[in-house]
Amino acid sequence: MKVINQMNMIHYRRETHKKTSEYKCCYSFKENRDYQSEQESLFLALLSQEFTIKLICPNKRCVVTLPFLRILEIQRGTDDCVAVNDWVNNRINERLKEELSQGVSRKTAQRRSENYKITETLHLIMDLLSEFGYFFQTRTTTGKKGMCKIDIAYKVFNKNKLMFDQESISRIGSAINKKIISLPSENGIITIKKGYLELLQNISL
């Protein structure tokens, strides 16, 4: 899969805005974290039209915010498989080493790692969706000094047609997130099979 071959670059097709009236800011930690989880869940449902996706069961104690799902791997056919969890962890380790070499304290670098996991996961999913004709309008967060910036998608297009705006990303993503975490697991793994219809039924404006 060519998107994995050069993963130090962002490949997803996007139009980026630092400020735009079309994007409604999320001010609280809960609003931000929920919207990240809603984006991920919607994007996973879109990916499930092309891939089988394996997720690590979320922590049941996460009751304050919607859980951000850890992706173990995604697979297409028998040979095309991306070990997402391993890839994300490797990226985080590389970033932590870089920050430590720049004088950032280990405590600070490790505290940032959870945000980096979310950032790397969302960017990877958007990369993959771009391979199937998706395009994103995003807003780049400023972040704190030295922090990895993240592109927040507030519009999703496919073949130049608007599919989802910020409100529908949030609403539909929330419903899909709740559906995913209700799915049965085996040995701590939730498997979303390619074309899983009950998940796809949530994808409508």
The H or E element spanning position 165 is: strand 161-165
Calculated CA dihedral for residues 131, 136, 140, 141, nearest 10 degrees: -100
Predicted model pTM: 0.83
pLDDT tens for each residue of 145-184: 555 667 789 999 998 899 999 999 999 999 999 999 999 9
pLDDT tens for each residue of 11-22: 555 555 555 555
Does any domain span residue 158? no
> What is the C-alpha to C-alpha distance for residues 98 and 69, in angstroms, rounded to an integer?
26
Does any domain span residue 59? yes
Does any domain span residue 178? yes
* Full residue range of the structural domain in which residue 76 is found: 28-133+167-200
Does any domain span residue 142? no
